[in-house]
């Protein structure tokens, strides 16, 4: 695709993110009205790439609310503990992700309580044939641009199974959508400035582990949209290993520290000490403070802000933010075996 045309297409997808989120609330509310639920004591979410990251982000939102542990499956197989008391959420935007379909077959064989989140494909066909819970979201766009639609559905599924009692998440999701819509131009302006600071560098993103899902999402977007390598780590863990590696750091690293008002006081101190140690090695150090009144608002602000950073990086790198030819090639070669 022509780079100019691709930029316009990606811009439109990101611009619609707030509206997609508001639409997602309507979809989720309606979908769970007719859900079949069972008593469960653990959750497994299977999903890859743009389909899977939503579950990780939502687990950050409900870490102190959810009444069951949440585990992520990003493989063809499933853990041995999956059983009839497991809520198994299968997420595939296309509905054709081979790892997800493989894991789903195994979960069904173990009589897990399965719910599907998809726009169609084989996953929707299986859900219909086996009368499984299914939330259908709009299709027809790159999976990574569907985050506004798909991530929130995990909250509705957890709610339908009674795992996040007394949560006000629907109203908080609506507030997040309105916050992003009202501040869209300011978000774009600030994201453009950060993109300029990390262009031509190897970005490294650090945060507390409380918001790691959002950081993974930012890393993925820089990888796919901007065609630029990036890595991330979380504190305190980073201080126990990666910190030593900075002694041999190259001179082209730009660091983004993402802060949250929910960071533990000791983690805040760790961040300050980490900056003191790595600043002589880093080209730039950027502090980022997500905005919003609630955890949901701040996390969705960070997701949307990160999407715009990746967009402006793609512009600066003069690359097509839509194109993922190497992944298409990889899948085609896998299909030959």
Task: Indicate which residues carry an active-site annotation.
Answer: 224, 240, 331
**CA atoms within 13 A of residue 95's CA, in its CB half-sphere:** 22
Please identify which residue in the block is written with the tokens 């045309």. 5
A 10 A CB-CB count for 245 gives: 10
Tokens of 200: 């031509």
Contact residues for 113 (Cβ-Cβ < 8 A; gap 6+): 36, 37, 38, 40, 84, 86, 87, 88, 133, 161
Tokens of 36: 């079949």
Q: How far apart are CA 58 and CA 299, in angstroms?
A: 9
Contact residues for 190 (Cβ-Cβ < 8 A; gap 6+): 305
Contact residues for 101 (Cβ-Cβ < 8 A; gap 6+): 92, 122, 123, 126
SS (H, E, C) 92-130: ECCCCCHHHHHHHHHHHHCCCEEEEEECCHHHHHHHHHC
Under 8 Å between Cβ of 86 and 112? yes
Q: How far apart are CA 53 and CA 110, in angstroms?
A: 25
Q: Which of 169, 180, 214 is nearest to 32 (CA)?
A: 169
Q: How far apart are CA 55 and CA 102, in angstroms?
A: 18
């Amino acid at each position: 695709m022509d780079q100019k045309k691709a930029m316009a297409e990606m811009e439109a997808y990101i611009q619609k993110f707030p509206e997609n989120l508001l639409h997602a609330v309507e979809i989720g509310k309606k979908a769970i009205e007719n859900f079949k639920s069972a008593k469960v004591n653990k959750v497994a979410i299977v999903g890859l790439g743009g389909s899977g990251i939503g579950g990780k982000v939502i687990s950050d939102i409900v870490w102190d609310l959810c009444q069951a542990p949440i585990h992520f499956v990003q493989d063809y197989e499933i853990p041995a503990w999956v059983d009839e008391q497991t809520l198994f959420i299968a997420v595939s935007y296309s509905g054709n992700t081979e790892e997800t379909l493989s894991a789903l077959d195994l979960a069904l064989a173990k009589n897990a309580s399965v719910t599907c989140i998809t726009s169609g494909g084989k996953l929707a066909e299986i859900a219909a044939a086996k009368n499984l819970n299914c939330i259908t979201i709009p299709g027809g766009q790159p999976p990574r641009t569907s985050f506004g639609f798909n991530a929130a559905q995990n909250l509705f599924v957890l709610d339908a199974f009674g795992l996040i009692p007394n949560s006000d998440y629907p109203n908080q999701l609506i507030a997040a959508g309105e916050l992003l819509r009202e501040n869209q131009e300011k978000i774009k302006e600030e994201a453009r400035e950060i993109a300029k600071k990390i262009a031509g560098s190897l970005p490294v993103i650090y945060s507390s582990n409380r918001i790691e899902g959002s950081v993974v999402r930012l890393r993925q977007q820089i990888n796919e949209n901007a065609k630029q390598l990036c890595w991330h780590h979380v504190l305190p863990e980073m201080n126990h290993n990666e910190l030593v590696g900075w002694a041999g750091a190259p001179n082209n690293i730009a660091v983004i520290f993402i802060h949250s008002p929910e960071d533990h006081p000791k983690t805040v101190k760790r961040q300050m000490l980490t900056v003191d140690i790595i600043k002589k090695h880093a080209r730039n150090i950027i502090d980022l403070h997500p905005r919003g009144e609630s955890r949901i608002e701040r996390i969705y602000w960070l997701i949307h802000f990160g999407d715009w950073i990746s967009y402006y990086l793609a512009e600066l790198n003069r690359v097509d933010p839509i194109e993922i030819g190497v992944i298409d090639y990889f899948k085609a070669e896998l299909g030959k075996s």
